[in-house]
Chain A
């Protein structure tokens, strides 16, 4: 238990970075800047997964979110934003209503948290090592996840084909491009 303070300090630093990154993500005016702030939030949550001993999930977070999703978002922004375009912003009234709604959700969540005080906490350490996850994912037994694993690979393939089909321009529609 003597390593607890260091872990606590690390947790609070990560939490502050995460919340600050998230706030930046939703408040900066430029969407490209918001995507870059999102990288900070994702990286901090990867650190949090490491602190929670879920190493594989942390690595997957960095690879899939930062290496994949954010790059994809940045590319989509570059494809859809024109230089010198007026940045669209919501009105003040909508911002106030949204802030009140978000605050209401937070308050409700904090009230719910009181219910969790009675939960007995045990700290599982080695639950998400590469070996443990790999065995569970590919085990055909009733506790394994072989069928969902195959299903998610099919889902990935379908969404890949779907994304290409949606974004593909047929030859006769080429004039749409310059619009």
Chain B
């Protein structure tokens, strides 16, 4: 169990999250994949705080702030998902093209 092993694990989780984000068509599925990526970032924070830090406690505090920010972001994002579902009756990101420039 070294810094490299933890970082490798975090990178793997991040790329799995990227894969999920690109392949899901349900908006909530995309949010779930994003959670995986944010979790990978948190693992990086804690791994560096544990193995290599002049001020390790600050690293842990940073991870806690990241967790709180994620909770805020999920609350807003899921509220938007629910209102989009109410308006359109579906959450398929391929069909939600209202904000897309029609010329592109």
Contacts and interface: CB of A to CB of B under 8 A. Distances in A.
Interface string A49-80: 10111101100110011001100110011011
Contacts of B68: 64, 152, 155-156
Contact of A57 (B22, B46, B69, B70): B46
A171 to B, nearest CB: 15
| Interface footprint category on B | 35 or more
Given A124-B51, A155-B72, A162-B76, 8 more contacts: A42-B39, A80-B28, A80-B82, A88-B92, A106-B11, A117-B4, A127-B49, A162-B79
28 contacts: A19-B16, A54-B46, A57-B64, A65-B39, A73-B74, A88-B94, A90-B23, A98-B22, A101-B22, A102-B16, A109-B7, A109-B14, A113-B8, A117-B4, A127-B53, A132-B57, A136-B57, A136-B61, A137-B61, A143-B58, A158-B72, A159-B72, A159-B75, A162-B75, A162-B76, A162-B79, A163-B78, A166-B83
Contacts, number: 245
Interface of B: 1-9, 11-20, 22-26, 28-29, 31-33, 35-36, 39, 42-43, 46-47, 49-53, 55-61, 63-65, 67-76, 78-83, 85-87, 89, 91-92, 94
B78 A160 contact: no
Given A73-B28, A73-B32, A123 B51 contact: yes
Interface of A: 4, 7-8, 11, 15, 18-19, 22-23, 25-26, 31, 34-35, 38, 41-42, 45, 48-49, 51-54, 56-57, 60-61, 64-65, 68-69, 72-73, 76-77, 79-80, 88-90, 94-95, 97-99, 101-103, 105-106, 109-110, 113, 116-117, 119-124, 127-128, 132-133, 136-137, 143, 145, 148, 152, 155-156, 158-160, 162-164, 166-167, 169, 176-177, 179
Contacts of A98: 18-19, 22-23
Contact of B50 (A38, A88, A117, A127): A127
